[in-house]
Amino acid sequence: MNKGINEVKTTACKADMDKGKSSILRPKHRRTVPFIIAAVLILLLASLIYYQFGNIRAAYLAVTQTPEQLLASIDNQRSELKTELEQYQVTDVRDLTVEETMQLLSGSLKAEQVKELITVKPQEASPPAVMAGVSKNGPLSGKVLTEAVNKIVDAYAVEFYALKAEYLSKLGATRKGAVDEFLSYPPEKRTDKLKRGIVADHLITASALEVDCDNKVKQLLSAMKTELTAIGGDLTIIGKINQSYENEKELQKAYLIEMAK
């Protein structure tokens, strides 16, 4: 009888060992998969919150400021960047005036006209892609470094202003498309509900334009950073340009929100 009991115990122990062993060897998909999904969702949510923060800020500005105040803020933002660029002797190119911006948004001024308009005098500096040649001998110093940095900043300033104008022109065309669509309906059908629906549809296009412009600005500033780094130049102006771009973008969106009311 004792022998039978021992055999039962031995069998039970072996089964427990096999069970434990199999649980160790078994892939932990049931735990891992939900964890990965949760992590991806958290990252997507964080990205959405970060992206939407600019829109929330723009909506707040639209509520708290008049169109005139927003336009004044845009002008001040541009003046601040102009002051920063003047430290690099960037005086042969300028940003758009508020009046020219309104012309871009209305479609009376085309993006392809802007580059000639904002260039005060013919540029002597090389295009950004050619400027890389000054870095072949490595870091520079003294007056040579200062002149090289100024040329690079000047060349990229032109491209930056032209890129902003291109985005504003496309944004203006999107806004005009929404207005034209709304006005195409008979007066009795031009309700607030219809207006909200049309605006929502065109906001998708506007958002895609914003993402495209953001990417182009990022690429432009990245190329500028590469050239300045190659010659040992200061990178402070890159952050200034990027911050100015983000600030003005919020103000422009707030102005368009205000005008769509």
pLDDT digits (tens, 9 = 90+) for 126-151: 444 444 444 455 577 788 899 999 99
Backbone φ, ψ for residue 232 (5° rounding): 80, 25
**Better-scored residue on pLDDT, 34 or 168:** 168
Residue 158: pLDDT over 70: yes
The predicted pLDDT at position 260 comes to: 64
Looking at residue 189, the DSSP 8-state letter turns out to be G
What is the model's pLDDT at position 7?
Answer: 47
In the prediction, which pLDDT does 49 show?
Answer: 39
Interval 116-127: pLDDT, tens: 888 875 444 444
Q: What are phi and psi of 93, to 5 degrees?
A: -145, 150
Q: Is 249 exposed, middle or buried (0-12, 13-18, 19+ CB in 10 A)?
A: buried
164-217: pLDDT as tens digits: 888 888 888 888 888 888 899 999 998 888 888 888 888 788 888 889 999 999
Residues 6+ apart with CB under 8 A from 231: 134, 135, 138, 139, 140, 145, 148, 149, 152
Question: What does the pLDDT read at residue 214?
Answer: 93
CA distances from 79 to 69, 73, 85, 234, 248 (A): 15, 10, 10, 22, 11
Give the whole-angstrom CA distance, residue 231 versus residue 233. 6
Report the range of poorest mean pLDDT among 47-56, 85-94, 102-111, 248-257.
Answer: 47-56
The pLDDT value recorded for residue 51 is 45
The pair of structure tokens assigned to 167 is 């985005």
Mean pLDDT of the chain: 76
